[in-house]
Amino acid sequence: MKTYFPNTEKIQFEGESSRNPLAFRYYDENRIVAGKTMKEHLRYAVCYWHTFCGTGADPFGPGPQQLPWLNASNPMEQAHQKMDAAFEFFTKLGVPFYCFHDRDMAPEGNSVEESEANLWELVKRAKDKQAESGVKLLWGTANLFSHPRYMNGGATNSNFDVVCQGAAQVKAAIDATKFLGGENYVFWGGREGYDSLLNTNMKREKAHFAEFLRQCVNYAEETGFTGQFLIEPKPMEPTKHQYDVDSATVIGFLRENGLEKHFKINHEPNHGTLAGHDPAHDIQVAADAGMLGSIDANRGDAQNGWDTDQFPTNLNSAVDIMRIVLQQGGLAPGGLNFDAKTRRNSTDLEDIFYGHIGAMDNFARALVIADDVNNNSEIPKMLKQRYSSFDAGQGSAFEAGKLSLSDLRDLAATKGEPTQISGQQELYENIYNIHIG
Ligand code: XLS
Ligand code: CA
Ligand code: CA
């Protein structure tokens, strides 16, 4: 069979001292950390869209990246070539999972039926390729944002006919995900949001969104799709006000509509940054609600206010994330999906490998450090001590709901001015840095 990456062999773990740019220095998939292998903890996935569909196009010009699998003139032939390249890449990189949108895998047809048939042809082939390679599907999703019909949104479109088109796509994408044994299904808001209140009935659009999701839950129950449904927050881009702003907004929306038992959050760090948060904040919000489902591992750019989808190479940020993941006992059935793309001027095919290898090594290293911080540093003890006034006596009675406002007032009067206790952020940061090394 034709190879698309003839210059690259299977990427091997060579250890920290290796200087081979096409080898892992930290990601040793069989290494045990905190009772599980790295492979089991990290559950890495490659995304189909950036890696095999994007050529670096931007508003100023077409993409300069020449991807050999996109050279076929017939869109279905191109889709087949793309799939060959994708599975060759997954296998050579050694990732256990991948993720896709319906339209990444198969082109849109001229009717609902033709689009379904196109997708089905490729999905059947993907099933065989999964069986041959052992690579599994972390999640599937539907693209309700690229086609011009979705210019006013998919589920929240002001035109009911467009909502129906969106439903047809999501139904087919859930079927495809189920057929491929996908462990999750993602809803990213796409163009679900608005630019001006003058032409928008926000309350009605959000009610439509909830109803759409409710019908997806019903459909999963009817058809026996048992994968986890995930919602991916993002505050802006493409619309000015996206409805799924951040974790807290999504959790509130789900609870308001009685949907919280059926969904978790797929958090993308770059989207957290765009919402004005440290990604770890948004991830912690989701984890605290018992709703951290999966992570689209990437990073933004501190100076840019848009979604740069860069490979996550920042160690501190990865440690922040992995500490939370370890504290909640892992991400499964979710994982770490690299929703990241090489820069526009990274035009060698090896660049795709470099991006993923660096990110996989970064999170593997972060996993080890996070486990060390959680178990061997002073930080957990210091944190426990910081809240110890609630562990016994009146503090614990307050937590248990046994003290009224008047009781609290009387305690204030008896106890007098509290002793000042330092928050010691600098000390925490210094200890953290000792473990990061
Ligand atoms: C776009 C989103 C998208 C989702 C899947 O900003 O990150 O790629 O992850 O639709
Ligand atoms: Ca994403
Ligand atoms: Ca993004």
In tens, the pLDDT along 280-292 reads: 999 999 999 999 9
| Ligand 1 pocket residue status of 191, Cβ below 6 Å | no
pLDDT at 276: 95
How many whole angstroms separate alpha carbon 29 and alpha carbon 147?
39
60 backbone dihedrals φ, ψ, rounded to 5° = -100, -5
Regions in the chain scoring below 50 on pLDDT: none
Nearest CA to ligand 1 atom 5: 188
Neighbours of 396 (CB within 10 A): 12
Binding-site sequence positions for Mg(2+): 232, 268, 271, 296, 307, 309, 339
- What was the pLDDT predicted at 138? 99
Give the environment of ion ligand 3: residues with CB less than 5 A: 270, 307, 309
CATH code for residues 24-376: 3.20.20.150
Q: Of the listed 41, 50, 102, 104, which one is catalytic?
A: 104
CA of residue 271 to ligand 3 center, whole Å: 6
Q: How many CB atoms lie within 10 A of CB 5?
A: 17
Of ligand 1's listed atoms, the one at least distance from the Cα of 237 is: 6
234 lines ligand 1 (CB under 6 A): yes
Query: Ligand 1 in contact with 141 (CB < 6 A)?
Result: yes
Residue 186 CB–ligand 1 contact under 6 Å: yes
Is 361 touching ligand 1 by the criterion CB < 6 Å? no
The protein residue with its alpha carbon nearest to ligand 1, atom 9, reads: 188
Residue 408 backbone class (left: φ over 0; alpha: ψ -120 to 50; beta: rest): alpha
The protein residue whose alpha carbon is closest to atom 4 in ligand 1 is 188
How many Å separate Cα 389 from the centre of its chain?
A: 37
Q: Which of 261, 86, 97, 297 is nearest to 182 (CA)?
A: 97
Report how far ligand 3's centroid is from the alpha carbon of 225 (Å): 27
> Which ligand has an atom closest to residue 184 CA?
1
pLDDT computed for residue 212 by the predictor: 98
Residue of 256, 254, 259, 234 lying closest to 244 (CA atoms): 234
Ligand 1 centre from 188 Cα, in Å?
6
Q: Which residue out of 232, 282, 308, 310 has the highest number of ligand 1 atoms within 8 Å of its CB and is therefore the one to mutate?
A: 232
Q: Ligand 3 centroid to 411 CA: how many Å?
A: 50
Q: Verify whether ligand 1 is closer than 6 Å to residue 4 (CB atom).
A: no
Query: What distance in Å separates the CA atoms of residue 83 and residue 122, rounded to the nearest whole number?
Result: 8
**pLDDT at res. 201:** 98
Q: Ligand 1 atom 10: the closest Cα is on which residue?
A: 188
The per-residue pLDDT for range 66-86, each reduced to its tens digit, is 999 999 999 999 999 999 999
Total Cβ atoms within 10 A of residue 43: 24
* The pLDDT of residue 265: 98
| CA 2–ligand 1 middle distance (angstroms) | 30
Q: From ligand 3's centre to the CA of 361, what distance in Å?
A: 21
282 labelled catalytic: no
Q: Which ligand is nearest to the CA of 268?
A: 2
All structural domains of the chain with their residue ranges:
24-376, 379-436
Query: Mean pLDDT of all residues in the chain?
Result: 98
For the CA of 188, the nearest ligand: 1
In short, whether 192's Cβ falls inside 6 Å of ligand 1 is: no
Let me know if 104 is a catalytic residue. Answer: yes
Q: Which of 290, 316, 311 is nearest to 300 (CA)?
A: 311
Ligand 1 close to Cβ of residue 188 (< 6 A): yes
Q: Which residues contact 124 (CB under 8 A, 6 or more apart)?
A: none
SS3 sequence, the chain? CCCCCCCCCCCEECCCCCCCCCEECCCCCCCEECCEEHHHHHCEEEEHHHHHHCCCCECCECCCCCCHHHCCCCHHHHHHHHHHHHHHHHHHHCCCEEEEEHHHHCCCCCCHHHHHHHHHHHHHHHHHHHHHHCCEEEEEECCCCCCHHHHHCCCCCCCHHHHHHHHHHHHHHHHHHHHCCCCEEEEECCCCEECCHHHCCHHHHHHHHHHHHHHHHHHHHHHCCCCEEEEECCCCCCCCEECCCCHHHHHHHHHHCCCCCCEEEEECHHHHHHCCCCHHHHHHHHHHCCCEEEEECCECCCCCCCCCCECCCCHHHHHHHHHHHHHCCCCCCCCEEECCCCCCCCCCCHHHHHHHHHHHHHHHHHHHHHHHHHHHCCHHHHHHHHCHHHCCHHHHHHHCCCCCHHHHHHHHHHHCCCCCCCCCHHHHHHHHHHHHC
| Rounded distance from Cα 2 to ligand 2 centre (Å) | 31
* Cβ 232 under 6 angstroms from ligand 1: yes
Size (the chain), residues: 437
> Both tokens of residue 7?
């210059």
Choose the residue to mutate in 268, 310, 341 for probing ligand 1, maximizing ligand atoms within 8 Å of C-beta.
268
Dihedral in degrees, nearest 10, Cα atoms 226, 227, 228, 231: -120
Work out the burial of residue 209: count CB atoms within 10 Å of its CB; fewer than 13 is exposed, 13-18 middle, 19 or more buried: buried
Is the minimum distance from the CB of 317 to ligand 1 under 6 angstroms? no
